[in-house]
Amino acid sequence: MNIENLEAFVYVIHFNSFNKAADALFLSQPSISARIQSLERELDALLFEREGKQFTLTDKGKQFLPYAQQILQSYKKGKQQLQTKITSLDELRIGCTVSVSNYLIPEILPVLKERVPDVQIKLTTAATESLLEKLLSKEIDLGLVRNITHPHIHSVKFYEDPIRLFVRREHVFAKMETVAVEDVVNEPLVFFECGSLDWMKIHRLFESLHLPPNIVYHIDNLETAKKLVLKGAGISFLPELCVQKEVRENLLVPIELPTLSSLSLRTNLISLNGEGLHWHQLFQETVKGINFKTRF
């Protein structure tokens, strides 16, 4: 029996969605459907009743589910055991995204080191999807990543950084009492693209106005986007944390847009279910007293 077909079946049930299961497994929706159909052929049984985009478990699907979950769990544990690297108790392996590495980690690690002076800390910087894979294969103990869901991980909100529009102090917006979204569409925009839902809200806001923004640069690095704004190449929506120094020095000015007041860049702390709880709790306790930024 193909373990990937079992995995697709269990994930569809867990997320109650073929599309969400596909996203969690980094597959396309047709690939998930093909795996389910292959499993049904192997079992010679219909597992789902399908009606358009809706589906329900058949009686045979309900009977098979606990066995599929047990097989998958045993396989995962066996695989992880084989892939686990020998890690001493005096080592903590942390994985984080680039933005966390640049703006949060330098504040956290010295405080953490004071609490556990004998622990060697190893930091890995990578994209969220890559860090999830490293956690599942036990290459890291904790991850600081974008908001993500997976049945085998424990995930809690760690930090939320408001997203605001920033311009150079010489920009005309810096001298205006109020700025509307309609004003923004005429300005060259440096767009930091990270794929999160909040950034998609910015896209949808402009789409609702039927006035596409004048995006002159698509950037996937916060520091690059910020430096382009400082050079006068455009204006940009950026998380507050990455520009607090420039705002204090009056090089950049935050612009209030009420329609975007609820946007933020969220970071979650993740660990494997049932494992790494000691490090997870210690990490959360360590950061409670840290003031990551001074409000503007």
**In the CATH scheme, what is the homologous superfamily, with its name and number, of domain 91-151+268-287?**
Periplasmic binding protein-like II (3.40.190.10)
Q: 36-50, 115-129, 205-219, 243-257 — which is least confidently predicted?
A: 205-219
Q: 67-71, 116-120, 203-207, 268-272 — which is least confidently predicted?
A: 203-207
What is the model's pLDDT at position 295? 45
* Residue range 269-282: mean pLDDT, rounded: 83
| pLDDT, tens digit (0-9, with 9 covering 90-100), for 206-215 | 777 677 788 8
Task: Say which residue, 67 or 275, is predicted with more confidence.
Answer: 67
Q: Residue 181's pLDDT band (boundaries 50, 70, 90)?
A: confident
What is the model's pLDDT at position 212? 78
β-strand pairing of 214-219 with 142-146: unpaired
CATH code 3.30.70.1560 for 3-83: no
Quote the mean pLDDT of the chain: 85
Is the C-alpha dihedral spanning 182, 188, 190, 194 positive or negative?
positive
What is the model's pLDDT at position 79? 67
What is the model's pLDDT at position 296? 45
| pLDDT, tens digit (0-9, with 9 covering 90-100), for 38-95 | 999 999 999 999 887 788 999 999 999 999 999 988 887 776 665 444 444 578 999 9
CATH code 3.90.79.10 for 160-265: no
Q: 45-54, 158-167, 199-208 — which is least confidently predicted?
A: 199-208
What is the model's pLDDT at position 198? 55
The token pair at 84 is 């686990």
**Nearest to residue 28, comparing CAs of 37, 20, 36, 39?**
20
What is the model's pLDDT at position 185? 85
Q: 188-197, 266-275, 282-291 — which is least confidently predicted?
A: 188-197
What is the model's pLDDT at position 89? 56
What is the model's pLDDT at position 96? 95
Tell me if domain 3-83 and domain 160-265 are identical in fold: no
pTM beyond 0.75: no
* Residue range 169-195: mean pLDDT, rounded: 86
Q: Where are the domains of the chain?
A: 3-83, 91-151+268-287, 160-265
What is the model's pLDDT at position 277? 76
